[in-house]
Amino acid sequence: MASSEELSYAFMEAHPADSARVIERLAPASAAALLRSAPLRLAAPVLRQMLPLAGARCLEPMDDSEAAGLLRGVGAQFGVALLRYFGAARRARLLAQLPSALVIAYELLLGYPEGTVGAWMDPRPLAFPSDMSASEALERVRGADEVLVADPYVIDRNQRLLGCVELADLLRANSSITLARLARPCTLRLPAQALLAVLPEHPGWHEASALPIVERGDRLVGALTHAALLRALSSEPRMPATSRAHDTLAGVAGAYWFGVSALIQALVGLLPVEKGDS
pLDDT recorded at residue 212: 95
With both helix axes pointing from N to C terminus, report the angle between 16-24 and 40-49 in degrees, rounded to the nearest 10.
Answer: 70
The CATH superfamily holding the domain 127-231 is CBS-domain (3.10.580.10)
pLDDT tens, position by position, 67-86: 999 999 998 888 988 998 88
Q: How many CB atoms lie within 10 A of CB 5?
A: 15
- What pLDDT shows up at residue 183? 94
Percent of the chain with pLDDT over 70: 81
**238 to each of 43, 56, 71, 242, how far by Cα in Å?**
27, 19, 26, 10
* Domain regions of the chain by residue span: 4-111+251-269, 127-231
- How many residues would you count in the chain? 278
Please choose, from the candidates 182, 168, 177, 165, the residue with its C-alpha nearest in 3D space to the C-alpha of residue 135.
177
CATH code linked to domain 4-111+251-269: 1.25.60
> Hey, what amino acid is at 247?
D
Query: How confident is the model over 23-59, as pLDDT tens digits?
Result: 888 877 888 999 999 999 999 999 999 888 789 989 9
Phi, psi of 149 (to 5 degrees): -105, 110
CB-side exposure of 31: number of CA atoms within 13 Å?
A: 24
Please, is 275 exposed, middle or buried when counting C-beta atoms within 10 Å of its C-beta (0-12, 13-18, 19+)? exposed
List CB contacts of 5: < 8 A, sequence separation 6 or more.
Answer: 267, 270
Is pLDDT larger for residue 212 or for residue 54?
A: 212
Smallest Cα–Cα separation from 265: which of 1, 27, 53, 66?
27
Of the candidates 78, 119, 115, 122, the one whose C-alpha atom is nearest the C-alpha of residue 197 is 115
CA 144, CA 135: separation in Å to the nearest integer? 14
DSSP string, 47-65: HHHS-HHHHHHHHTTS-HH
- pLDDT for 145: 59
Q: What is the pLDDT of residues 100-148, one digit of tens each?
A: 988 988 888 888 888 899 988 888 788 888 988 999 888 888 877 554 4
Q: Which pLDDT tens digit goes with each residue over 179-199?
A: 999 999 988 899 999 999 999
Phi, psi of 210 (to 5 degrees): -145, 140
Residue 258 has pLDDT above 80, yes or no: no
Please provide the average confidence, as pLDDT, over all residues in the chain: 81
- Looking at per-residue confidence, does 257 or 20 come out higher? 20
Cβ proximity of 83 and 110 under 8 Å: yes
pLDDT of residue 267: 52
